[in-house]
Amino acid sequence: MTILQLLLHALLISDAYGKLSEIARRGGYSKRTLEDVHQRKLNERALNNTELQYYSNDTAKYFVESLPEIPQNFLTEMYSGLIPIDLSNASRALFFVFQPRVGPPVDEVTIWLNGGPGCSSLEGFFQENGLIQWTWGQFDPTTNPYSWVNLTNMLWVEQPVGTGFSIGTPTATSEEDIAADFVKFFKNFQEIFGIKNYKIFVTGESYSGRYVPYIANAMLDLDDTRYYDVGGILVYDPCIGSFNYQNDITVYPFIEKNNNVLNLNQSYLATLAALDESCGFASFREQYMSFPPNGTQPVLYENCTANPECCTWDSVYDAAYDPNPCFNVYEIGLQCPLLGDVLGYPTDLQLSYPSQPVYFNRTDVKLAMHAPLYVDWLECAPNPVFIGDGGPEGEGDTSADPIQKVLPRVIEATNRVLIANGDLDLEIITNATLLAIQNMTWNGALGFQSEPATPIDIKLPDLQYQSLFSSQGFDGLDAHQGIMGVQHYERGLMFAETYLSGHMEPQFQPRSSYRHLQWVLGRIEAL
């Protein structure tokens, strides 16, 4: 079958399936009828699939023919569904989306994990670095010209167990537990898709600053390059150190710098400044936020019950809602109104408009993606995904901070680790991340010896809005972005500070993030 015939076949199926989906939403057909149609559609795939790189008898059941409300020309080869952690026990399985590279094939897989803990990596797929972009405030989906699928084979995984569509009862008490589950799942994924001897890159953001180094470390432990040849990792606005106390230590300078946006009153700022001194945060920064570092940082324990006034980050978070009820801790520049979100989570507040229900919880979407119909999909899990007691971040995850052991090990093994932080992120502050780096020893030295200062000049063209600018006579106003951050590389670790970005960097600054991935993949040597 030719490519044109393939497209026509898919369009006809998509149109028929879309009509049935709409009838079902109106109550005309049952879920069982939709399931029958969907299965029949898969059974009718008598296609010559030489154009599809990973389509086979083993992968056919995961192939995504179409997605409701997504134009067919937005879709490329795509697979999704559940793969068991242990093939002998289908009751514990992780949900994935896999999209091969658009362009010449590459023998590599780049894994993306969202954080939480318990937040879905379908957020990354749909709003950050996937080919389809349907983010806050968008009435309709668009394509993402800076999708990472343009560079590499992308695998988004909902993990640990208890996250998104993934099924099973959470049992993990540590990062070692979830890493052990992940490497089993990942080998099963590779066996199904005929993947072997590929370079593996592990990426993510936020709490996955813990997931990613531990998973990469577990892969290195297995010493099997057929399945686990780790090439590097990338983490955005990551939880790599004790971010709770690091945020307290760095929040006052952050507020000083950004109060033109936050608009906290002067009396509150004076109180915050006094606490910055009396709680010892100012002196801590003076001593340890230095390049090179002045020794290993002492351990601080946050005790908001015994010493609540020194939990300054919590205080700032609460105060920020007074002048701006639509305050977004992940991107402090956003104002009211609250933007609609097809994933239902535009800020720390959950919000869905009646005309735009949560996309991945729709029956027609679940069927299209081979997701379990009985799972009530939420972007972030309502119940804990770790069942331990306490832990460094109080999440029931008892593993040590990554800077203690696993992150240095991954840096030393790959010399391709990138840590980036967005300047408009209050959830994990840029200087808090730098403070963690300055307390980490790798490749024979503690921290960075020089302060990050080399500019990042983003010269990638505007591919998102160029035609709109041109059609309305604004040619040239959307030139290359220019200086969008600073970078610094030492001993296998690249740090990037990203200007005009919040927590979800591929969403807020996709051109910068595209460069970040190019570096991690070894395509470029500087940002």
The pLDDT, as a whole number, for residue 47 is: 43
pLDDT of residue 40: 47
Contact, 359 vs 134, CB < 8 A? yes
| The one catalytic residue among 14, 315, 425, 512 | 425
pLDDT of residue 516: 99
Looking at residue 301, its pLDDT comes to 63
Q: Which domain holds residue 6?
A: 1-51
Cα–Cα distances in angstroms (integers) from residue 385 to residues 43, 90, 161, 173, 206, in the given order? 36, 19, 7, 9, 16
Q: How far apart are CA 210 and CA 172, in angstroms?
A: 14
C-alpha dihedral (281, 287, 292, 297), degrees to nearest 10: -70
Q: Is position 296 within any domain?
A: no
Q: CA nearest 271: which of 314, 312, 308?
A: 312
The torsion defined by the Cα of 126, 131, 132 and 137, in degrees rounded to 10, comes to: 70
Distance, in Å, from the CA atom of 165 to the CA atom of 171, rounded to the nearest integer, reads 16
- Whether 520 maps to a domain, the answer reads no
Q: How far apart are CA 316 and CA 299, in angstroms?
A: 23
> For this structure, is 503 an active site residue?
yes
- Report the alpha-carbon distance of residue 377 to residue 362 in Å, rounded: 9
Token pair recorded at residue 16: 């028929």
Q: Is 282 domain-assigned? A: no
- The model's pTM is 0.90
- In a domain? residue 239: no
Q: How many domains does the chain have?
A: 1
206 classed as catalytic: yes
Instruction: Give the tokens for residue 305.
Output: 């019950």
The answer to whether residue 3 sits within a structural domain is yes
Residues of the chain short of pLDDT 50, as ranges, are 1-35, 37-48
What is the per-residue pLDDT across 438-464, written as a single tens digit (0 to 9) for each?
999 999 999 999 999 999 999 988 888
Per-residue pLDDT at 525: 96
404 domain-assigned: no
Nearest Cα to 506, choosing from 114, 124, 99? Answer: 124
What Cα–Cα distance (Å) separates residue 22 from each residue in 17, 169, 357, 364, 427?
9, 33, 14, 9, 39
Q: Which of 276, 503, 512, 516 is catalytic?
A: 503
507, part of any domain: no
Match 């992150």 to its residue by tokens: 407
Residue of 14, 21, 206, 501 with catalytic role: 206
Q: What are the tokens at 498?
A: 């990203």
Copy the structure tokens of residue 116. Answer: 């939480």
516 counts as catalytic:
no
pLDDT at residue 113, rounded to an integer: 99
Instruction: Say if 462 falls within a structural domain.
Output: no
Neighbours of 30 (CB within 10 A): 11
* Residue 17: predicted pLDDT: 40
Distances (CA, A) of 21 to 25, 245, 352: 6, 49, 20
- Predicted local distance difference test score (pLDDT) of residue 34: 46
